[in-house]
Amino acid sequence: MFKSSSIEADHTLDPKVVFLNSVFLFAGIVAFGMGFFRWQASAVMGSIDFVFSLCNFALVYYLNSHKERVATISSIALALSYCLFTAIYLLASNNSTRISLFFLLSASAFFLKGRQAGFTWLILVLLTIITGHFLPGFDTAYSHLDIVTASLYLMALFFIFLNYEIFKEKVNERDRDKEVLRLSEERFRTMVENGNDIISIISETGMVRFISPSVESVLGFEPGEMINRNVNDLIHPDEQPKAAMALANALAHPGGETLEQYEFRMKHKDGSYRDIEMVGCNLISNPVIGGIVLNGRDITERKKLENELKHQARVDLLTGLNNRRHFFELAEQELARAKRYGAPLPALMLDVDHFKLVNDTYGHHVGDMVLQKLSEVCVQTLRGIDILGRIGGEEFAILLPETKSEQAFEVAERLRLAVAGAVVPLEQGDSIHFTVSIGVALFVATDAKIDDMLNRADTALYAAKNMGRNRVCCEGIG
């Protein structure tokens, strides 16, 4: 970082170093030559020239050895030049062009030290010219008009430099703005072309006006295939009403405000669907954009993971049925509905007969196979609206919405018979059969929670076991 800054500083100083080198060398050579010429007329003037020449040569050597001190050397050079030019102005009255030296001094001060210092030097030069002209004992050989004219020219020169510098700053500022804009556009283009998100611009009717190349990696379409195509063509039919609502919301909020985030299933070129998280802003009024800007991100893998975690949180991993927690969530909802509409809602409790004996005889892996077979039979026997869950080791609970008591008993009996006829194949061609006992309870108005029903169904279940197992028992009925 420091090395880079040093290099930038060297480049900034180079023009001033070159300028000073040129001035010092030229002034030193000229002053040295003039020293011989002036020495014949005036030893004082000749001595001044020689000293000035040596100072210039010394400054050249010092400057090239210490370029970083160009600011200090500039100040020394200006001070020496001022002293020399003032001496020439006051002592060399026979030289009618000597006042022009102050023009060089003023211009050099502006270039080397900037506008503020240039203005200070201008005031100093003007005071020197005017004061020297009226100084007793000195004859500048200039008329008052010459002094006024020279002063006006010096001020004009300063303002020319000043206006030029201001103009140059404006040009540089404009060039910097252009460069910043170019770099910004280049960065944006690079981000759009190489980013994973889909950047698109659509019209107020949903027609695609622009889409980034990333659409090919996400949805399989080349950008050219998407232009002038309605974005709704890719949205899953079930979610098109939501898409229409999102578009209406975007049209209702012009001005670039970031809008509500939506998730859509969008069709891949191969016919599958990808989950896309989308956010947009309405820039239709922007003459450069002229549309609704959408930013879409592929969240398919994230949704799969979320769904898998939800599934694991709700499902019993061994049987694939609702686990205890999720069963009770669904059951409470169904109980509330039954209360609201006065609908019948029988509850069944199932338990595998002699399940401990199965585990002890054949091993726990066979016990797991028995539970899986029971789950399979239940799913095949029951309706899609029935709620089924494994709530204990070998205990299963079932709710039968919109089912009367007689029908509930018939369903339970049909289920018992289906289980009794099921076969669990073992290794070496063997197989086992198993049975279940089922308790049935009916919804009553005093049931505050699903536990109330299940407790009664559990009581009926144990009654069935006490009566010999492999049977159905309904509460209050033997």
What does residue 294 show for φ and ψ, rounded to 5 degrees? -115, 140
Q: What pTM, to 2 d.p., does this model score?
A: 0.52
Q: Of 204, 219, 364, 214, which Cα lies nearest the Cα of 289?
A: 204
Give 294's strand partners.
200, 280
Q: What is the pLDDT of residue 476?
A: 56
Percent of the chain whose pLDDT exceeds 70:
95
Banded pLDDT at 169 (limits 50, 70, 90): confident
pLDDT at 183 over 80: no
pLDDT at 221 over 70: yes
Q: What is the pLDDT of residue 432?
A: 93
| Residues near 14 by beta carbon (within 8 Å), at least 6 away in sequence | none
Separation between Cα atoms, residue 56 and residue 35, nearest integer Å: 14
Residue type, 400: L
Antiparallel, parallel or unpaired: β 291-298 and 198-202: antiparallel
User: Domains of the chain by range and CATH?
Assistant: 2-174 (no CATH), 198-304 (3.30.450.20), 315-474 (3.30.70.270)
Residue 474 three-state SS: strand
| In contact, 36 and 46? CB cutoff 8 Å | yes
Q: Which two tokens stand for residue 32?
A: 């040295």
Q: Mean of the pLDDT values across residues 134-154?
A: 85
pLDDT at 16 over 80: no
What string of DSSP letters covers 279-341?
EEEEETT-TTT-EEEEEEEE-HHHHHHHHHHHHHHHB-TTT-SB-HHHHHHHHHHHHHHHHHH
Q: Which residues are catalytic?
A: 394
319-372: pLDDT as tens digits: 999 999 999 999 999 999 998 888 899 999 999 999 999 999 999 999 999 999
Banded pLDDT at 28 (limits 50, 70, 90): confident
229-256: pLDDT as tens digits: 998 899 999 999 999 998 888 888 887 7
Q: Which two tokens stand for residue 239?
A: 């979610």
Q: What is the pLDDT of residue 445?
A: 67
pLDDT at 191 over 70: no
| In contact, 161 and 118? CB cutoff 8 Å | yes
Q: What is the pLDDT of residue 195?
A: 65
Q: What is the pLDDT of residue 57?
A: 82
Q: Please report, in angstroms and rounded to a whole number, the separation of the first and last CA atoms in the chain.
A: 91
Cα–Cα distances (Å) from 13 to 9, 19, 66, 187, in that order, read 6, 10, 11, 31
Q: What is the pLDDT of residue 150?
A: 85
pLDDT at 129 over 50: yes
Cα–Cα distances (Å) from 47 to 34, 55, 249, in that order, read 10, 12, 88
Beta-carbon-side half-sphere exposure of residue 80 (alpha carbons within 13 Å):
22
| Residues near 110 by beta carbon (within 8 Å), at least 6 away in sequence | 117, 118, 121, 158, 161, 162, 165
Separation between Cα atoms, residue 400 and residue 403, nearest integer Å: 6
pLDDT at 163 over 90: no
